[in-house]
Structure 1
């Protein structure tokens, strides 16, 4: 085991949609950028939890309006070239506008965009320490199977999903809502062997689950979930297996993963028995990891509020747009939605991406500075592309100038094709 030392302008921790966008955005400014991800591939929840829907690229109004451009849109166009993306899809059950994905194409598309941008990627690598001096993160320590890697940089972006970098740096964070409660986690599972003409009406699944419960089945939580047919393979994606879980705690995660896998097999059995077209269905995949919606939140220079979101508030230092409705998940219950005014969008200010008390640390993705209601909208992956892109550009500007001018960040984001 040996300790290697590296030096970059910008280090991005976490390679989900927010981290990929941050790294590409920073590199596009000219910053030497390192992207650190613990998994063998980029994509976060999309690729590691099979959440094969990008939510938040589009507002919910009619006609459909795209509210996220920039790096996120470049990824959509890469998916289009791979034959996966055919435009937005309005879910007939919920009415929400989403982008349907294929996991392997998403991994490959993200690889391509990261490499094209000149980002230095490090997969299979996890940050375990942060060294801080005078309100600035000076370096991080990561580990791989070869030992420790110390990385110095001028600016950092926390896109870890759990605010790991901010917490390691001693920055201000909040766990869950103001009472410490978090939204439910869900293990997504994929089902094969379903004829392409089999109806996927939500009511069929709800009736089947209710019938099974009446006959004594107790191993499932939710009666109303989401069922979608995926592009390419035509497999069916099912989101039913909810768990109350602390996504920071290995013991809690272990119990949730194992319980949720039991649920997935139970749901499959119910669908085979009671849902037309599912008689020959089989389980293609669970996870790999349970989908964690919420753990830590960063406290930034501004806390985005539920009123900002619901009222579609505009901000002078806006660097991203949120177009997904407020969506709250409690284990075993149907999702609760609150629409944005006019089903339009709201602004996310740069102040919500800068970690309070730090000069050179930004946050992106589901951990941005939000109250519980705003979080329930801003957490989704399409919006994470937008906040990541903005955080990466801000970090690169700081690395070059040791200052942050919101007008300059906005100008550069527009140059890179972002919608603000």
Structure 2
């Protein structure tokens, strides 16, 4: 049984297409004009040579036939920016979600505490369409589940979304440059109808690589290599904790009235404002979970107003997001534990005396799954050197934050970059010319991923790529072979039209003068820049 249950009315404003015409809507007039404009200057891509057909033609004719320009697999927030941008460019886009309910980490996992990205001088790096979300979060207009629901519904308005699909066979052809090219996909909807869809581009946008796992891909080493484990394990998942009847005003008042030494003794490292609370690690360290798979870390709490508080702080280890039984078991552990954590907060946090549980999310906040090889894999040294790329699609920033696993429950920080470039190549699946990786699927080493994974980094990249796909339509180029001049043209368009600046940016080099050997050890985790003393 799937661990995900739909939130009430979650899809009220989303059009779900389960019919034959699900992805066959006609491109807009803008798309047609773009097509005409580019056909005057660009040669059309040649017909690829058939390598293997996953379904015989005689069987294909029996299936519901569909066409699209871009097919997004999964409904995680980050990839929706790609879908929206591509649709705005006039491309035919559809979303096929293997999960039975829409919204992934945000709407189902209710991970509503947003981490902003900033450079070393605290200047915001959030840009593009995702900035609207972060601005709304900061000013209190987007705090509760229905606010996020409304926001995400706007992103997919007019884009066909089909939930609970079962992915079937994949059709492959040989691309003009020798890479594999996905030509089609067979999938089954919840009503048992089989569909056969063709598309130009395919986007992996689930938290467990539901589509890419069907392909010939290479898994890159994960955190198990850093910690010397033989067993594959991912960063701990969070089960978001929801409370009501919290007197945040009292909490803030008492906190601010305390002397610094008194505050530190009672709460440890702690920050509290009108909107959020961070750490309070003296409180969480005193808590003993009922299971070794659980850990209460220093928390991130958001004031959702009217007494409602949402906290990210309960880690659950050894969760496999590709295994429903594993996810269900983790959810059960979390639901059993949170009442005990509530008692801890009632006793130790002023203003929490009358707090109560406010329900449970239907899903987890999954931080990490397998890392697969992309055309370029970002490394820790790229981030800490402030490296920029000719094919930048986003400017990233955030500490290299590796959340805990069973071998190191507190996790570890591996350094604090200023800002760095995130290239298109880190979203192109290696060996394929039309498979893109969105959000958590970004091509980064297990260490670099600690920073790159943060939502604004990959959301901006997804929007940039959506625009790029629209600009490439009708040309001979694919995302795997965009020439430098074309990439630069699109980057200028991103700056002028979409307020996404990815060129002319410089990041501080935190590893200036380091030897090749030192940088290599930085990338493998043998050196942690936060403790290492570099000799100049």
Indicate the TM-score class for this superposition, using the shorter chain for normalisation.
0.7 to 0.9
Which of 100, 114, 130 is the equivalent residue of 1:72?
130
| Contact 1:17/1:384 (8 A) holds in 2 | no
| 2:213 is aligned with 1:131 | no
Q: Give the secondary-structure state (helix, strand or coil) at the position aligned to 1:285.
A: coil
Write out per-residue CA displacement over residues 48-103 of structure 1, whole angstroms, 9 at most, x where no aligned residue. Answer: 212112224x31544x42323223124456xx4xxx5418xxxxxxxxxxx97322
| Contact 1:68/1:419 (8 A) holds in 2 | no
| 2:322 is aligned with 1:248 | yes
State the alpha-carbon separation in 1 of the partners of residues 433 and 470 from structure 2.
13
In the comparison of the two structures, how many residue pairs are matched? 395
Which of 278, 295, 298 is the equivalent residue of 1:225?
298
Q: Give the secondary-structure state (helix, strand or coil) at the position aligned to 1:265.
A: helix
Write out per-residue CA displacement over residues 274-327 of structure 1, whole angstroms, 9 at most, x where no aligned residue. Answer: 433222211113232121111122211111111111222111111111122111
| Contact 1:8/1:32 (8 A) holds in 2 | yes
- Higher RCO (CA 8 Å, separation ≥ 6 residues): 1
Residue in 2 that maps onto 1:326: 400
How do 1:357-368 and structure 2 match up within 5 A?
Answer: 357-368=431-442
Q: CA deviation at 1:166?
A: 1.7
**Greater C-alpha Rg:** 2
| Structure 1 residues 13 and 397: alpha-carbon distance in aligned structure 2, compared to 1, 3 A threshold | farther
| 2:245 is aligned with 1:193 | yes
Which of 57, 74, 81 is the equivalent residue of 1:21?
81
| Contact 2:74/2:98 (8 A) holds in 1 | yes
| 2:86 is aligned with 1:86 | no
Identify the structure with the greater strand proportion: 1
| Structure 1 residues 408 and 353: alpha-carbon distance in aligned structure 2, compared to 1, 3 A threshold | farther
State the alpha-carbon separation in 1 of the partners of residues 240 and 211 from structure 2.
27
State the alpha-carbon separation in 2 of the partners of residues 376 and 145 from structure 1.
36
Write out per-residue CA displacement over residues 195-227 of structure 1, whole angstroms, 9 at most, x where no aligned residue. Answer: 1224377538544455554xxx64584343214
Q: Give the secondary-structure state (helix, strand or coil) at the position aligned to 1:313.
A: coil
Residue in 1 that maps onto 2:500: 418
Q: Give the secondary-structure state (helix, strand or coil) at the position aligned to 2:211.
A: helix
How do 1:154-303 and structure 2 match up within 5 A?
Answer: 154-174=200-220, 176-177=222-223, 179=225, 180-199=232-251, 203=268, 206-211=281-286, 213=288, 218-219=290-291, 221-244=294-317, 245-303=319-377
Q: CA deviation at 1:190?
A: 1.0
State the alpha-carbon separation in 2 of the partners of residues 231 and 261 from structure 1.
21
| 2:201 is aligned with 1:141 | no
Q: Give the secondary-structure state (helix, strand or coil) at the position aligned to 2:202.
A: strand
| Contact 1:126/1:142 (8 A) holds in 2 | yes
| Structure 1 residues 363 and 400: alpha-carbon distance in aligned structure 2, compared to 1, 3 A threshold | farther
| Structure 1 residues 178 and 397: alpha-carbon distance in aligned structure 2, compared to 1, 3 A threshold | farther
State the alpha-carbon separation in 1 of the partners of residues 75 and 488 from structure 2.
27
| Structure 1 residues 210 and 337: alpha-carbon distance in aligned structure 2, compared to 1, 3 A threshold | closer
State the alpha-carbon separation in 1 of the partners of residues 112 and 337 from structure 2.
20
| Structure 1 residues 377 and 407: alpha-carbon distance in aligned structure 2, compared to 1, 3 A threshold | same
Residue in 1 that maps onto 2:105: 45
Which of 80, 104, 112 is the equivalent residue of 2:146?
104
Q: CA deviation at 1:187?
A: 0.7
Give the TM-score normalised by the residue count of structure 2.
0.67
| 2:413 is aligned with 1:337 | yes
Give the TM-score normalised by the residue count of structure 1.
0.84
Runs of 5+ in structure 1 lacking a partner? 88-98
State the alpha-carbon separation in 1 of the partners of residues 498 and 284 from structure 2.
48
State the alpha-carbon separation in 1 of the partners of residues 291 and 250 from structure 2.
25
State the alpha-carbon separation in 1 of the partners of residues 147 and 101 from structure 2.
12
| Structure 1 residues 218 and 10: alpha-carbon distance in aligned structure 2, compared to 1, 3 A threshold | closer
